[in-house]
Structure 1
Amino acid sequence: MARAIQLAKKGWYTARPNPRVGCVIVLAGEVVGEGWHQRAGGPHAEVVALKTAGENARGATVYVSLEPCNHHGRTPPCAEALIAVGIARVVYGLADPHRVASGGIGKLEAAGITVDGPVLEQEARALNPGFVKRCQTGLPRVTLKLAASIDGRSAMASGESQWITGPAARSDVQRLRAENAAIITGIGTVLEDNPSLNVRETQPGLSANELAEMQPLRVIVDSRLRITEGLKILQPPGAALVATAQSEGSVEGAEVCSLPDDGGKVDLQALLQELGRREYSDVLVEAGGKLAGVFLQQGLVDELIIYMAPKLMGSDGMPMAVLPFSAMSEALALEITDIRAVGNDWRITATPGGNTCSQV
């Protein structure tokens, strides 16, 4: 199973919106087939492994990181393919959380195939946390990326913010963008900084063509539809979506999505529901302090990644997240899950926990 999980990671940047899945076929103690799911519409991991195993698949044991699907979609059900070739046993890592595609275990057992699992469930789940969340809640997994000085400032009082962190941290952000299907930012950041917010560095194992295909959707939260033409975020590569509280409007180079308003602002919960409906499982928020603070206050963030630079920018600088708390009881507690050096900066990974803030 460990090998199947390792294989699944080969589709880390390309499998979406499908889950990352790896498969190993073993006969008489020897590996006779391997495969992983590379991209949506392409063969699933089990089918690739069966093809490499050939006639050796009959009577073999299949180790697969996710329960074989039982759904006719872009490709036939993997459960049927395993039954057809005479697989004797299937060991799975994680039960399929998808209500439509699940049911493979029952189908295999009904055909007389021995099914065991879950095995290495935590590791198998870690392959697809966004997919699991979307299947269970309809919402994508939200990662909030922040960059700040060691005294928590994301910009000088003048608005100057380039560059807080060094080249290694900025390169790591490229990897983070590549891992996510969509990037959310605010209109203030777009008008102030004119960012591209696409993936500019080729990630390990990705060709230039694959990089062009998997560019994340860039989502601009623009409640009053203030966006102007010619901005970098509206240019290729990658598509753009403007989320607005206005009932109508158009923007050259982007789709305009009218959403319910929340006190005159775009309802962020409704935005995430719309992205989930469109099968975006993993979403990165790269925004200014105000929008970052709203995401945190509304409890919409699953994970924070904070790049901390060894600089002091002063008390007049802008905070990395605007959180108008006045009492310690309001403070948002975080559980730090990882700290590591990235060049001359530090990357802190944390999850919200403890106190729950009221919605704004």
Structure 2
Amino acid sequence: MVIDKSFYMGLAIAEAWKYQGLTYPNPAVGCCVVGEKGEILAVNAHQKAGEPHAEVLALRDAYFKLTNNDEILQLQSSFEIHSYLIKNHNNIFHNIFVYTTLEPCAHIGKTPSCASLLSTLKVKKVYVGSRDFHKEASCGNEMMQKVGIEVIENVLKEQCDVLLEPFKKFQTSRFVFFKWAQRLSGTTDGGVISSKDSRVNVHQMRDVCDLLVIGGNTVRLDRPTLDARLVNGKAPDVLIVSRQKEFDTTIPLFQVPNRKVFIADDFSICQNYHNIMIEGSAKMFELSKDIVDMYLCYLAPTFGGLKGFEGIDEKFTILHTRETKEDLILWMKRE
């Protein structure tokens, strides 16, 4: 293994993928902070819109590692962490290298400017994967260069650009991803498949997506709630794709307050939403091919069940894989 700029940026990318699907309407971004001798001081990622950006969390963790002062770890808001670092950095970041998958933001919004913070801390060098195409937040590289920070662009750019694809879709139209869980035997039926941690991850995504799409047969057979109760989150609106329009309205998903439920035999309602999750198996996979941007599979190391994706001939490009305690999580695109 070669320890170079690609290695460190790879760590930032992998960390960002852990939060893909959770940061809407913000992008998934990762950051790695490296010491003057090449030691890894921190790896972190943006985790939720309105919360600290990746660079802020990584700099916070790096400050603690360099000083052993845990006072900063008690701070929650981005403004608090920014202020603390500016007042207490004592020039400890001057020989530090920062790797970030996206150009540090130059504007002040719900959180302060990361480019401004890095400029104040005067880190030695910043490696950037993708330039920020969002006009309001862009030009962070130039801001840092003006104070003498060396900026190296386009590090693992292709991988960083893929990480940004959902965010780009949010901005222009909609991002649609198809999620399912399956066993090693390829089956998707027969009760709960994925682990509790994986189900929590799905509920976190439901909390931030604005429309969830599911098939009519699944609704009738499983009688689901389709909420985000495992994370005390909000329940998205639901589109039930079905030719038959009559449903038992005592099914729990119809009882969720402040939710719209649509029943239609097409996906046209999706035009009114920006972050859409489709849950299903073989039939829904075939129906939704034309509108899906990415695929998300939770693969459980088990056998069982009877049915899955029989008779479907497809090939995928794997964008990222992540191993949890019990499951393998794969983000993919259909070739």
Matched, 1:284 2:292: no
Could you tell me which residue of structure 2 aligns to residue 357 of structure 1? none
Stretch of structure 1 that moved more, 300-309 or 76-85: 300-309
Amino acid in the other structure paired with 2:152: D
Matching of residue 220 in structure 1 with residue 255 in structure 2: no
Q: Deviations over 1:63-90 (max 9, x none)?
A: 2222111233211222222223333421
Cα deviations across residues 220-244 of structure 1 (Å, max 9, x unaligned)?
A: 23688755544322456x9744235
The size of the alignment, in residue pairs, is 292
Distance change (3 Å), C-alpha of 1:149 and 1:7: closer
Aligned residue in 1 for 2:47? 38
Q: One-letter code of the match for 1:104?
A: G
Partner of residue 23, structure 1: 31
Residue equivalent to 2:114: 78
Unpaired runs of 5+ residues, structure 2, are 1-7, 64-84
What is the one-letter code of the residue matched to 2:112? P
Alignment-derived partner of residue 120 in structure 1: 156
Q: 5 Å matches for 1:126-275?
A: 127-135=163-171, 137-145=172-180, 162-163=190-191, 168-169=193-194, 174=199, 177-178=202-203, 180=205, 181-182=208-209, 183-198=212-227, 211-213=231-233, 217-221=236-240, 226=246, 229-235=249-255, 240-243=259-262, 265-268=265-268, 270-271=269-270, 273-275=271-273
Structure 1 SS opposite 2:50: coil
Q: Distance in 2 between the 1:134 and 1:285 partners? A: 16
**Aligned residue type for 2:55:** E
1:61 matches 2:97: yes
The residue type paired with residue 251 of structure 2 is L
Would the aligned equivalents of 2:181 and 2:193 in 1 still touch at CA under 8 Å?
no
Cα distance in structure 1, aligned partners of 2:173 and 2:147? 32
Determine the structure 2 residue equivalent to 1:352.
Answer: 334
Counterpart position of 1:103: 139
Q: Which amino acid aligns with 1:81?
A: L
Question: CA offsets per residue over residues 124-151 of structure 1, 9 Å max, x none?
Answer: 456555334434x52214124376997x
Shift of 1:48: 3.4
Post-superposition offset of 1:320: 5.4
Cα distance per residue 1:183-231 (max 9 Å; x no partner): 3213443234311234576xxxxxxxxx223x66252236887555443
Q: CA deviation at 1:20?
A: 3.1
Give the conservation status (yes or no) of the 8 Å contact 2:214–2:238: yes
After superposition, give the CA deviation of every residue in 1:29-79 in whole Å (9 maximum; x if it has no partner).
Answer: 366666543322122222334453622134643222221112332112222
Q: Does the C-alpha gap of structure 1 residues 27 and 44 become closer, same or farther in structure 2, counting only changes over 3 Å?
A: same
SS in 1 for 2:232: helix
Deviation at 1:333, TM superposition (A): 4.1
More helix by share: 2
Structure 1 unaligned runs (5+)? 155-160, 202-210, 246-264, 324-330, 354-360
Identical-residue share of aligned pairs (%): 25
Aligned to 1:335: 316
The match for 1:262 is none
Conserved 8 A contact 1:21-1:36: yes
In structure 2, distance between residues paired with 1:6 and 1:12: 10
- TM-score (norm: length of structure 1): 0.60
Q: Give deviations 1:265-308, integer Å, cap 9, x for gaps.
A: 4444x50x4321xxx2xx43224765443212x35353364979
Letter in 1 for 2:36: A
Return closer, same or farther for 1:57/1:336 CA change in 2, 3 Å cut-off: closer
The code of the aligned residue for 2:316 comes to E
**What amino acid does structure 2 have at the position aligned with 1:145?**
W
TM-score, normalising length from structure 2?
0.64
Structure 1 36/293 Cα, relative in aligned 2: closer, same or farther at 3 Å?
closer
Are the aligned partners of 1:188 and 1:288 in contact in 2 as well (CA < 8 Å)? no
Pair 1:242–1:71, CA change in 2 (3 A): farther
Note if contact 2:106-2:140 (Cα within 8 Å) is conserved in structure 1.
Answer: yes
* Superposed CA RMSD: 4.7
The amino acid that maps onto 1:294 is L
Q: Is the 1:24–1:62 contact (alpha carbons within 8 Å) kept by the matching residues of 2?
A: yes
Secondary structure of 1:57's counterpart equals coil
Q: Is the 8 A contact 2:183 2:303 kept in 1?
A: no
